[in-house]
């Protein structure tokens, strides 16, 4: 990690710039994939499976027999862990339901807002070396609570033509019935436009590599909605003299192992804590199966020592991290000062892994500084808010004259007349 002490504010913009992988002609490559799938449908998807996944697929949709095989292959301990996480995630997201509240803004003028599920949603789940079955919980559960009529899941197959069994087990557990063996930008294209086999959806969810992310961005141009702009995973830890260096090192590495373009940041008011954390980090790094990935991520990560906690908080808000850990016995003192973060973990025992798996909060969060304007995924992500109004004769008499005056001032006489004709008939 790069070590710095009290960097000037003029340097902060440079320090908060996220790393990125080389992406020569990324947009044109992804654009070609989207157009190819839109034009050729399943045929293009099968060709991409051969090209990218090294597998010849006879069918794209996962069969009930394949799901049952996956269920049987998961050991009981993992099933129990997934079920515990499901219960907590369900409890937290179910609490986000809102009952419509009718507001009478004037006597006879009633207004309210109703949450209505998005009918068709698509969920992308990465496979490969880190099959994110936990993300199936994070997206499938709120979709079910919201009442989405159709949930489509796409995930890349291995070279034997199978989706990771934990992904299939978890999808079945949360009630997802339509699962397809498609990965990468081509999966986003399939869910955006629809193919002979895969239904088109109205909104896309889920993390992925730069090709998936770019495909989601480009899907916006074709009338799709997406959950949020998303990039490589990141964590920022704020530490003081009450922090535990071993815990901090573990938290930093838990994000560094995601990918070589991940970034981890340590801010501390205690130089001794910083040095002890770096020693612990190097020691723990040697034990990781994904050591090489984590090492690459650490090359563009920072350990910054500030004199005051105020500077740590200010820098964190400027960085707007996906995950923020305040590793302090006094973490509760800073809650109201956090204004830009995807998800916040308070105290020495609130590890980021808890949020990733089983505490109940959602781990699909804004990255790359988008926490300044985006929220993480929630029940609201799967619903639309529709407003209603019902106005009585007496209600229109109360607000009608104001509408007429405003409409006339804007030169919209038909708007005025829509009120006037009703008032005259009373």
Predicted confidence (pLDDT) per residue in 25-64, tens digit? 888 999 999 999 999 999 999 999 999 999 999 999 999 9
What local confidence, expressed as pLDDT, does residue 416 receive? 97
Among the residue ranges 218-232, 305-319, 388-402, the one predicted with the least confidence is: 218-232
What local confidence, expressed as pLDDT, does residue 21 receive? 66
* Of residues 212, 193, 167, the one with CA closest to residue 23: 212
* Tokens of residue 333, six digits: 């003192």
Four-residue CA torsion sign, 264, 269, 273, 279: positive
**Number of residues that make up the chain:** 426
What local confidence, expressed as pLDDT, does residue 53 receive? 92
- Distance separating alpha carbons of residues 131 and 156, to the nearest angstrom: 9
Question: What is the rounded average pLDDT for all residues in the chain?
Answer: 95
For the domain made up of 2-20+232-360, give the CATH fold: Rossmann fold (3.40.50)
* Tokens of residue 349, six digits: 């025992």
First-residue to last-residue Cα distance in the chain: 76
Residue 166 phi, psi (nearest 5)? -65, -30
Q: Are 266 and 239 in contact (CB under 8 A)?
A: yes
Taking the domain 26-102+118-226, which CATH number applies?
Answer: 3.40.50.1980
Q: Are 303 and 282 in contact (CB under 8 A)?
A: no
- Distance separating alpha carbons of residues 120 and 143, to the nearest angstrom: 10
- 182-200 pLDDT per residue, tens: 999 999 999 999 999 999 9
* Residues with active-site annotation: 322-323
206: which residues sit within 8 A by CB, 6+ positions away?
122, 123, 124, 125, 126, 135, 139, 212, 227, 364
Residue 125 phi, psi (nearest 5)? -120, 115
133: which residues sit within 8 A by CB, 6+ positions away?
82, 125, 164, 166, 167, 169, 170
Cα maximum dimension of the chain: 83
Average pLDDT value for residue range 247-268: 96
* Of residues 316, 340, 308, the one with CA closest to residue 6: 308
- Distance separating alpha carbons of residues 297 and 415, to the nearest angstrom: 59
- Distance separating alpha carbons of residues 425 and 380, to the nearest angstrom: 42
229 has pLDDT over 90: no
Q: Are 423 and 400 in contact (CB under 8 A)?
A: yes
Average pLDDT value for residue range 239-262: 96
CA 389, distance to chain mean position in Å, is 33
- DSSP code, position 140: H
Place of tokens 């869910």: 191
- Distance separating alpha carbons of residues 310 and 334, to the nearest angstrom: 10
* Of residues 394, 417, 393, 395, the one with CA closest to residue 404: 417
What local confidence, expressed as pLDDT, does residue 177 receive? 96
19 has pLDDT over 90: no
Tell whether pTM > 0.85.
yes
Place of tokens 């609570």: 145
- Distance separating alpha carbons of residues 227 and 376, to the nearest angstrom: 9
Average pLDDT value for residue range 188-216: 95
More confident residue, 114 or 231: 114
Q: Are 164 and 127 in contact (CB under 8 A)?
A: yes
Q: Are 146 and 379 in contact (CB under 8 A)?
A: yes
Q: Is 261 helix (H, G, I), strand (E, B) or coil?
A: coil
- 327-366 pLDDT per residue, tens: 999 999 999 999 999 999 999 999 999 999 999 999 999 9
- 125-176 pLDDT per residue, tens: 998 777 899 999 999 999 999 999 999 999 999 999 999 999 999 999 999 9
* Of residues 122, 92, 97, the one with CA closest to residue 357: 92
**Angle at alpha carbon of residue 17, lines to 127 and 262, rounded to 5°:** 25
What local confidence, expressed as pLDDT, does residue 230 receive? 78
Residue 365 Cα distances to 45, 153, 344, angstroms: 29, 19, 11
Locate CATH 3.40.50.1980 in the chain.
Answer: 2-20+232-360, 26-102+118-226
């Amino acid at each position: 990690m790069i070590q710095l002490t009290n960097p000037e504010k003029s340097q902060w913009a440079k320090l908060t710039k996220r790393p990125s992988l080389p992406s020569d002609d990324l947009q044109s490559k992804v654009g070609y994939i989207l157009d190819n799938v839109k034009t050729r449908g399943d045929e293009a998807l099968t060709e991409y499976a051969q090209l990218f996944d090294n597998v010849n697929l006879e069918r794209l949709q996962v069969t009930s027999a394949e799901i049952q095989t996956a269920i049987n292959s998961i050991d009981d301990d993992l099933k129990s862990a997934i079920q515990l996480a499901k219960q907590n995630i369900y409890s937290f997201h179910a609490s986000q339901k809102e009952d419509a509240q009718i507001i009478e803004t004037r006597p006879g003028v009633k207004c309210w807002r109703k949450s209505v599920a998005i009918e068709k949603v698509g969920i992308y789940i990465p496979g490969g070396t880190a099959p994110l079955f936990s993300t199936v919980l994070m997206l499938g559960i709120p979709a079910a609570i919201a009442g989405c009529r159709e949930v489509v899941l796409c995930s890349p197959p291995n070279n034997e033509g199978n989706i990771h069994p934990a992904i299939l087990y978890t999808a079945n557990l949360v009630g997802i019935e339509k699962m397809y063996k498609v990965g990468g930008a081509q999966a986003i294209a399939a869910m955006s436009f629809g193919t002979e086999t895969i239904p088109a959806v109205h909104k896309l969810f889920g993390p992925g590599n730069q090709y998936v992310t770019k495909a989601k961005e480009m899907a916006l141009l074709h009338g799709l909605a997406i959950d949020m702009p998303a990039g490589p995973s990141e964590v920022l830890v704020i530490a003081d003299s009450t922090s535990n260096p071993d815990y901090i090192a573990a938290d930093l590495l838990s994000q560094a192992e995601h990918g070589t373009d991940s970034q981890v940041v340590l801010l501390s008011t205690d130089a001794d804590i910083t040095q002890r954390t770096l020693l612990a980090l190097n020691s723990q790094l040697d034990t990781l199966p994904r050591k090489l990935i984590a090492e690459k991520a650490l090359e563009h990560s920072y350990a910054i020592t500030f004199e005051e906690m105020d500077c740590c908080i200010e820098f964190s808000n400027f960085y707007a991290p996906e995950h923020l850990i305040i590793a302090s016995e006094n973490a509760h003192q800073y809650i109201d000062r956090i204004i830009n973060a995807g998800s916040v973990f308070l105290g020495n025992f609130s590890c980021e892994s808890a949020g990733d798996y089983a505490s109940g909060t959602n781990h699909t969060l804004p990255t790359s500084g988008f926490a300044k304007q985006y929220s993480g995924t929630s029940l609201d992500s799967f619903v639309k808010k529709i407003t209603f109004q019902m106005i009585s004769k007496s209600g229109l008499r109360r607000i009608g004259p104001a509408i007429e005056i405003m409409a006339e001032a804007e030169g919209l006489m038909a708007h005025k007349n829509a009120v006037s004709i009703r008032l005259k008939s009373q």
